[in-house]
Structure 1
């Protein structure tokens, strides 16, 4: 951080938080400023440059990503404050950074409820980390041509209980024709301190009705009239949960948001539909005053150790490798005398790519194993639930992709157990296998993993090539019976390659099974702390 200036900002409490007035408030604010400065001083290599208040910029609109030059001090005022209008709940916190080649202004709400605030901070940290990785090799030709990340938000509060958060995420790089803009939403019940997903409030069997309402409203908007006959509109509004997982609850409307390119061409931006609650009768059922808060999840450090999955007998259904699945249980037959392979996917889930991979696997009645990052679980909950309901296996790939061999025992346990909790909270299924990050392990990890560690025997190197044909060739040129194949479900070329790999493997006579199914069918019993590379090779 020696080349980066960092500012931390915070707004006064909102109307729903207790207020402190007069000299006490000034004292609290002074103490807060001193505390933040002390924290900043303690950060090695960082320059303390002060606390930046939310300053309005007179005479201009302050929307994100505008081509506004820096002021005399090199600062962008629009970047240093939240510029949205609706903040009905929570207190704004901001991270402002100025570097030689990039700038960022990230604003997010906190509610004083750790279960909610921790998820929000992890979400924000994930965005910042991804942006910094993207610009790592970028060099700005001029200070006003730096890469930019701008994250802003809005909040709505319904009946002092249901809070909805909308994040607007903008990335702009020199050379982009237009800034990349995405939206994400979170909804929480402040009484139960639990997330609210579409499945939680949607009346059973009413997803097609919701989809039809959305289609009708989009089609009736004159701004979209020229696009509703496109295949993009048809597929983007199909009655599947992933199309409708971004929603908001406001005082008068149930609002659906769609990503850029999801339903219309990119020129349309990120469309939304606000449906009055009067039209939602029989479609959604919001939590009432009698809803009870669930028991607190177990502390990560006290979380019980897992037992390895039991041997299979050839009859496999959803969630068979990690407990009982969600929804109806279908039975698949595995023939141990026929060749089989296990496709595995790391680092997801990611809505733009994992869903496509699941579609391909479902089309060909096949399954795979997904080694997930724990901090992606909450805002990709529908994908994880779908994995379980369709018979896939979920494995643990750490909470935020730290190199596990460099961590203390306490940090290591946090990475593993926090992911266990995140996945189980969303799906009801606890992972029973793990994959070490970077494929790196040592004695400490073997002794403390508490699960079998799964490596691979075929590496597609999709992270390196990002090329569809290369990925296909790596699989088809090397695959053998019992192989565990490594891919990553965060790359578009990988998702496209899977569309060819899956049917080709099947045509060659391979059964596509989960890792646990593969090893059990080969007569290999899984043990915690042991390393497994394929159906015939066990390395201790």
Structure 2
């Protein structure tokens, strides 16, 4: 029989062994779950930075080059913009989401058309924000606005995805948070809305409290920015549907101990675009007595198609006008700056190709001003002319935009037919002096068509001028709110 002293020693040994076992298990858990998000070595940081696509980073687009899917159909407007990161596994996941959105919109259109005998019009507008948290975690947020003429109001929603850039995989709540994180997120969300809500009683409703309870379903749609977690909710989830798709922001310092990943040590600095010394374009003599046309290109810049077109224009000593989208210029700043230095005119084509006639005054102002500002960061001047997407103008747009509106006299339909032969024929069979010709520098077929159009028109004696040059040589002084489609002698 053991003595009391022996029993105590045995119990102490068992207790110490149990402590060591718990510590060992905790260490294994830490290695398994924390090691995946370890500090990157300098070599890993450099390799990752060289792999990724970085535009001139702005506050809300910190990573990824802008890819666009745009049509020019005012009855069924589609404008989709999403980031390409440069990591195939991630880019395929993003593309799958985009394709699902397109498919869902087409299916919904079919359903809406079955409910009425009248023609159904539709709009799908998708844009994005992208953020870096730490040196290996990135978030993409798609903002989706969908409208059918059979609906009383547009529907807004947000799709957020968080990625580990080193591993190329999407992260869920359990990868990002730990401990009592659901309670902390619930508390943070409620605190955020209580601080920002003009109506405090809205955060005391049964709907709000039920939608922000500490369970995983409440917080699945989230993103990580440089300094905060953002939680996105669906229309009608926590507030009435007419309030849109709300978002709550929780600073990282309010989540101390609940974060499993590192959020400090950015992979790149977000700031102003680097200063580039741009050479002023050389003036070109234009003979007012000879026929002239203004070639115009919408929806760019594009990293491949636009340079092809620029090479052709240079070959024929031609000037053109590029109506650019504001959310693409940071991704392809070098192309935009080449357009400017080679003497082409830069016009405003809105920020993300929204139909201006369907927006409110503040939304219209954003579309124009944000585009002007982004261009002004990269060029020494802001656009003078504006081409409204889909050619859609109403009285509200005229009042809100203090710029001349430029439409066209020849529409090549290049966005629709994607045939270089059809594009070229549309121009060569209809062209006359003073025409403004609409094309888009997103499509290879358009560049192919320019290989036919430019030499053919040059052989007929046409001069290729910017829209402003065309108006000037025809003694037309463009005025804000006025619409210009051509300028004949």
TM-score by length of 2: 0.50
Superposed CA offset, 1:474-500 (max 9, x none): 111111100000000000111111121
RMSD (Å), alpha carbons: 4.1
Contact 2:134/2:267 (8 A) holds in 1 = no
CA shift, 1:196, in A, is: 3.4
Distance 1:130 1:519 in 2: 42
Superposed CA offset, 1:392-444 (max 9, x none): 00000001111111111111101100000001110112100000011111011
Partner of 2:273: 195
Contact 1:189/1:195 (8 A) holds in 2 = no
Partner of 1:289: none
Partner of 2:389: 437
CA shift, 1:367, in A, is: 0.8
Quick check: 1:384 aligned with 2:336?
A: yes
Partner of 1:127: 83
Contact 1:423/1:430 (8 A) holds in 2 = yes
Distance 1:443 1:85 in 2: 57
Q: 1:116 is paired with a residue of what secondary structure?
A: coil
CA shift, 1:127, in A, is: 2.7
Partner of 2:254: none
CA shift, 1:505, in A, is: 1.0
**2:305 paired residue among 353, 371, 375:** 353
Contact 1:453/1:532 (8 A) holds in 2 = yes
Do the aligned partners of residues 431 and 137 (structure 1) sit closer, same or farther apart at CA in structure 2, a change above 3 Å counting?
closer
CA shift, 1:188, in A, is: 6.0
Matches within 5 A, 1:296-311: none
Do the aligned partners of residues 460 and 521 (structure 1) sit closer, same or farther apart at CA in structure 2, a change above 3 Å counting?
same
Q: 1:394 is paired with a residue of what secondary structure?
A: strand
CA shift, 1:514, in A, is: 0.2
- Comparing both structures, which one devotes a greater share of its residues to helix? 2
Contact 2:305/2:441 (8 A) holds in 1 = yes
Partner of 2:483: 531
Contact 1:187/1:196 (8 A) holds in 2 = no
Stretches of structure 1 that go unaligned for 5 or more consecutive residues are 1-54, 63-80, 90-106, 140-150, 158-165, 171-185, 201-325
Distance 2:454 2:100 in 1: 34
Distance 2:95 2:395 in 1: 30
Q: 2:427 is paired with a residue of what secondary structure?
A: helix
Distance 1:419 1:461 in 2: 25
Matches within 5 A, 1:117-516: 117-120=59-62, 126-127=82-83, 134=99, 193-196=271-274, 326-516=278-468
Contact 2:57/2:273 (8 A) holds in 1 = no
Do the aligned partners of residues 132 and 480 (structure 1) sit closer, same or farther apart at CA in structure 2, a change above 3 Å counting?
farther
Distance 1:358 1:115 in 2: 25
Distance 1:368 1:458 in 2: 15
Q: 2:429 is paired with a residue of what secondary structure?
A: helix
CA shift, 1:134, in A, is: 4.8
Q: 2:397 is paired with a residue of what secondary structure?
A: helix
Do the aligned partners of residues 375 and 167 (structure 1) sit closer, same or farther apart at CA in structure 2, a change above 3 Å counting?
farther
CA shift, 1:522, in A, is: 1.1
TM-score by length of 1: 0.46
Indicate the structure (1 or 2) with the bigger Cα radius of gyration: 2
Do the aligned partners of residues 108 and 456 (structure 1) sit closer, same or farther apart at CA in structure 2, a change above 3 Å counting?
closer
Q: 1:126 is paired with a residue of what secondary structure?
A: strand
Distance 1:475 1:196 in 2: 40
Matches within 5 A, 1:85-100: none
Q: Which has the bigger relative contact order, CA under 8 A and spacing at least 6?
A: 2
Partner of 1:245: none
CA shift, 1:136, in A, is: 5.1
CA shift, 1:187, in A, is: 9.5
Do the aligned partners of residues 135 and 446 (structure 1) sit closer, same or farther apart at CA in structure 2, a change above 3 Å counting?
same
Do the aligned partners of residues 130 and 520 (structure 1) sit closer, same or farther apart at CA in structure 2, a change above 3 Å counting?
farther
Partner of 1:25: none
